[in-house]
Amino acid sequence: MNSQITFGKYKGSTPAQLKRVDPDYLKWGAANLSSPKWRAEFQQALATLTDEDNAWAMVRSSGGEIDFEEAFIAVRDERLEAEENDRKLVACETALHEIAAKWAPIFGKTPAQIAGIIHRCEMDWQDAPASQFSSDKAYQDFRAMMAENDAATSAIWKG
């Protein structure tokens, strides 16, 4: 993290210095550099990236249009929103697996198969014609399962 970069537009800087200058360059390098040493150095710098670092980078990239306090609040709020969205996605996945486990015996499938069906049908399940099902009961069970998943997902995102 403290080695001087020997290539590119930030030659002579260290990855640690780039945290407040161009965190996107660190992200790019951590994902794309062919050298394992440099990928590791960039990843290490990213692992210690703070809201303050991102705020200073935002101030610099704005050309002084944004002051530090405004940038810090924006960066912090964006991070908090991303963390909340991640938490909700995990909760949705947990609910999906609980629903899949509940409905698997009814459909004679494994929970993983039911989870896959729910994922594939989430967006347009209400349009599925009854003729695609082996019986009216299977069709009604499918609709009940998907409605349960919709209700759980909606409650998580609204809550």
Residues 79-109 pLDDT 10s:
999 999 999 999 999 999 999 999 999 999 9
Query: Do 49 and 96 belong to one domain?
Result: no
Task: Look at residue 7 and tell me if it is in a domain.
Answer: no
- Burial class from Cβ neighbours inside 10 Å (0-12, 13-18, 19+) for residue 17 reads middle
Domain holding 66, by residue range, is 15-75
Rg value, the chain, Cα: 24
Average pLDDT score over the chain: 95
Query: Do 58 and 110 belong to one domain?
Result: no
HSE toward the beta carbon, residue 41, CA cutoff 13 A = 19
Query: Do 93 and 131 belong to one domain?
Result: yes
Domain end point (choices 75, 109, 126): 75
> Is the model's pLDDT at 159 over the cut of 90?
no
pLDDT at 44: 96
Query: Do 95 and 70 belong to one domain?
Result: no
Please state whether the predicted TM-score (pTM) of the whole model is above 0.85: no
Query: Do 53 and 108 belong to one domain?
Result: no
Query: Do 90 and 150 belong to one domain?
Result: yes
Number of domains in the chain: 2
Task: Look at residue 54 and tell me if it is in a domain.
Answer: yes
pLDDT at 2: 83
Query: Do 90 and 49 belong to one domain?
Result: no
pLDDT at 10: 95
> Is the model's pLDDT at 127 over the cut of 80?
yes
- The angle formed by the CA atoms of residues 36, 79 and 63, to the nearest 5 degrees, is 80
Tell me if 91 sits within 8 A of 155, measured CB to CB. no
CB neighbourhood size of 103 (10 A): 22
Query: Do 149 and 115 belong to one domain?
Result: yes
The alpha carbon torsion through 26, 27, 33, 36 (nearest 10 deg) reads 80
pLDDT in tens, 59-84: 999 998 999 999 999 999 999 999 99
HSE toward the beta carbon, residue 66, CA cutoff 13 A = 17
Ramachandran quadrant class, 113 (left: phi over 0; alpha: psi -120 to 50; beta: rest): alpha
Task: Look at residue 6 and tell me if it is in a domain.
Answer: no
> Is the model's pLDDT at 1 over the cut of 80?
no
